Amino acid sequence: MAIHQIDPNLLNGKVQVAVIGAGGTGSQLMNNLVRLHLALIALGHPGGLHVTLWDDDIVSAANVGRQSFYPGDIGSPKASTIVNRINMAFQLNWSSQVQRLNGDSALKAQIVIGCVDNRKARLAILQAAKRNRVHYWLDCGNRLGDGQVVLGEVCPTLVRQGKGPRLPHAADLYPELIDPSLDATDDVPSCSLADALEKQSLFINTSVAMFACNILTELFRHGQIAYHGIFVNLKSGRTSPLQVSEEVWKRFGYVIPAEPAPAKKPRASRARKKPQEQPVAA
């Protein structure tokens, strides 16, 4: 089994993280990122995390109970509500963007964490990550009672290049995740907590958020990981790791692209020796 080594640039200063989506998973994940930030600082990391949360939605009554919101938050923007609460509680200066991310958005991040529930949004995340040269994409997704977390590299830095294959991201392993034509037509907002629970298990978002942050914790704490994803099923109680393994990736239909052959150096031209003149016979 192979391992993936962390990009050394993530150990040299404050790490810029963008979280896309402040719903069931994103709101829970933000609380975990605070804990990770505090742990990194305590362990000697030079800057910890700076997180920017993106979401254009407003807190509704159906969000209270399943997401990380309170009755007094109803009617307020999700992104700024969560970030303001964190900043006041921990004296941080994290940021919020009360808008929807699109493929042309300016994304200042080394790690982007997707907590969205449709393929169109995932495609926008990947497009923005490529456009802004984001290194890591951590994708979080779930259905009624199961979910997955996949960490991959979008644009590895020069330091990472040449140190093993690029870590495939969610769209490499599941190309259908970025096909908007496959999005479900049922996008009607839930009107109550009971209605929301018909679509998602109460603790699936919490579980996915925990496993996502645990992968980041392992990566920062030990400088390497042997797995870069998790599949969790709350109904069966099973979890399965996605190992850093070319053989495992092949089962998903992903084959590591062949590296271009190094350019051949041109041979130095040799000057032809002039034939020695023969002495003229007398």
d(CA 208, CA 140): 7
- Helix (H/G/I), strand (E/B), else coil: 58: strand
* Residue-wise pLDDT tens digits, 87-137: 999 999 999 999 999 999 999 999 999 999 999 999 999 999 999 999 999
d(CA 150, CA 212): 8
Residue 112 has a pLDDT of: 98
Give me the architecture of the 4-251 domain, per CATH: 3-Layer(aba) Sandwich (3.40)
- Predicted confidence (pLDDT) at residue 5 exceeds the cutoff of 70: yes
Residue 282 has a pLDDT of: 33
pLDDT band, very low/low/confident/very high, at 276 (cuts 50, 70, 90): very low
d(CA 54, CA 64): 19
Residue-wise burial string across 131-149, b where 16 or more C-beta atoms lie within 10 A, e elsewhere? ebebbbbbbbbbeebbbbb
End-to-end, the C-alpha distance of the chain in Å comes to 83
Residue 188 has a pLDDT of: 43
Residue 126 has a pLDDT of: 97
Altogether, the residues listed in the chain come to a count of 282
Residue 259 has a pLDDT of: 58
Q: How many Cβ atoms from other residues are within 10 Å of residue 107's Cβ?
A: 23
* Residue-wise pLDDT tens digits, 160-198: 666 778 999 999 999 999 999 888 654 545 544 555 555
Domain boundaries along the sequence of the chain: 4-251
* Residue-wise pLDDT tens digits, 40-97: 999 999 999 999 999 999 999 999 988 999 999 999 999 999 999 999 999 999 999 9
Looking at per-residue pLDDT, the higher value among 264 and 202 belongs to 202
d(CA 38, CA 36): 5
* Residue-wise pLDDT tens digits, 214-260: 999 999 999 999 999 999 999 999 999 999 999 999 999 998 876 55
Residue 272 has a pLDDT of: 52
